[in-house]
Chains A and B, each alone.
Chain A
Amino acid sequence: MRSFSLADFLSLLSALQWTGVLVLIALAFGAPLALGLALMRTSARRALRWTATAFLQLVQGVPLLGLLMFFYFGMPVFLGVEMPPLVAVGIAMTVYTASFLGEIWRGGIEAVKHEQWEAAACLGLSTWHQFRYVIAPQAFRMALPPTVGFLVQLIKGTSLASIVGFVELARAGQLVSAATFQPLLVYSIVAAIYFAACLPLTLWARSLEARLNGAR
């Protein structure tokens, strides 16, 4: 047994990097998918709407933990596909992000009045330009608070990756705690790090919201 030292603290901080990597993977792949899902869900074409809805029903019915288990433990059993933890966790987080952000953004798109599409169409804009320049900026403004709320959720959600042995912040906390027998101290520090990672996000969103509201 050893006592908690600066080295332990630094190892927690470096594990935070992996938390960051997971969040970035989830956003890099999940956000474009989310946009696609949101567009499909609001599309005039029934086939697109139904495909997206079916996917969302499937994914949102499963907790994040279940997704992680499926891609890490389930895929090798069912499909014979073995994946390193980072890939399995990355896919699970991506799917999770796509489904939640997709629904948040769909809500934003639907909150923009139908007349805005019509006015843009009457100016001869293409459907994509109508969305890109008229609908999306207004939808973004409305979807911003829930989007940031989800990001905070996502950062905390990465802690579940520890159950498949991926060493991010929560798992590192477990390891340090086992080595030092100071769980209360260690987990308090872990919690504080999560808090410190999420706080700037919340503050940034608040200032951005104020700025966007000021612009009108």
Chain B
Amino acid sequence: MALVDIKNVTKSYGSIEVLKGVSLSIDEGEIVTIIGKSGSGKSTLLRCINALERIDGGEITVEGQSVRTDMPNLRGFRQRVGIVFQAFNLFPHLTVERNITLAPVLNKRIAKAEGRALALDVLARVGLADKIDAYPAQLSGGQQQRVAIARCLAMGPHLMLFDEVTSALDPELVGEVLKVMEDMARQGMTMVLVTHEMGFARNVASKIVFMHQGRVWEEGPPADLFANPRTPELRSFIASAR
């Protein structure tokens, strides 16, 4: 059974239909990269997967559980599906440690010492153990984004969603964040990411999904998709992206 199963999902904002029947299935350990023009519905799809947006039709299941904004145990579900945003969204009034341990302390009631050990552990995975006592404003954009990733990892998610996590970064800081994501991919994390980093999509993804006008226009392994685009839309997208 697929880890994520998206069937015929529709979603409108007012009278504008943003998702027009999206179907997609994601197996455990897969790295799925969603590409497509601005406004094609990539972020909306991602936000539907962790119940940040209500869907109007179709169904999304994660680990066999039907995803709805009013699903039972939504909070437990959110801890199993991490999401990282373009704008980091760290809590500016808390140290890096507190940013990371806030949810485990409140949700799982772990002890203080245990929390610090957990923070050190996930920070080590993003290469920032020395920043544990810093405040977000004292970090570079790339470091803040890595802390945001570590904060997600601390929940022990089974699936991670990334929405253009490098788009707000200065070019020289993009690499350090991509490297962290590559490491996670190598360790077997199931990941769905929206990105404009075609190199990353080509080298790391197990599957590329090209979205166009609220639909999955084409999907397949990166080698196939980039070498033999079947639709003119994907062809022109690839041409414009390089």
Contacts and interface: CB of A to CB of B under 8 A. Distances in A.
Contacts of A138: 91-93
Interface stretch (A14-22, A102-110, A115-123): A115-123
A72 B50 CA distance: 56
Interface string A185-208: 000000000000000000000000
A50 to B, nearest CB: 23
A215 B155 contact: no
B107 A216 contact: no
Contact of A116 (B75, B89, B107): B89
Contacts of B117: none
A126 interface: yes
Interface string A64-88: 0000000000000000000000000
Contacts of A216: 92-93, 135-137
Interface string A125-164: 1100100011001100100000000000000000000000
Contact of B155 (A123, A133, A134, A141): A123
Interface stretch (B79-87, B189-197, B225-233): B79-87
Interface in B75-123: 75-79, 82-83, 85, 87, 89-93, 102-103, 106-107
A195 B76 CA distance: 54
B78 A123 contact: yes
A119 B78 contact: no
B147 to A, nearest CB: 12
Contacts of B93: 137-138, 141, 215-216
B2 interface: no
Contacts of A63: none
Contacts, number: 58
* Residue of B76, B103, B137 most packed against chain A (CB within 10 A): B103
Given A129-B106, A133-B102, A215-B135, A124 B78 contact: yes
Nearest to A122: B83
Interface string B145-156: 000000100010
A152 B6 CA distance: 58
A122 B78 contact: yes
B52 interface: yes
Interface in B57-85: 75-79, 82-83, 85
B85 A119 contact: yes
B85 A115 contact: yes
Nearest to B88: A119
A115 B83 CA distance: 12
B103 A123 contact: yes
Contacts of B87: 115
Nearest to B102: A133
Contact of B75 (A119, A124, A134): A124
A126 B106 CA distance: 9
Given A115-B85, A118-B52, A124 B103 contact: yes
Nearest to B87: A115
Given A215-B93, A216-B92, A216-B93, A124 B79 contact: yes
Given A119-B91, A138-B92, A125 B50 contact: no
B106 A125 contact: yes
B135 A125 contact: no
Please list the 10 inter-chain residue pairs (A to B) with the smallest Cβ-Cβ separation, ordered nearest first: A119-B89, A123-B103, A124-B79, A124-B78, A124-B75, A137-B93, A115-B89, A216-B137, A129-B106, A122-B83
9 contacts: A115-B89, A118-B89, A123-B78, A123-B103, A124-B76, A124-B78, A138-B93, A141-B93, A216-B135
Given A121-B78, A124-B78, 4 more contacts: A119-B90, A123-B102, A123-B151, A216-B135
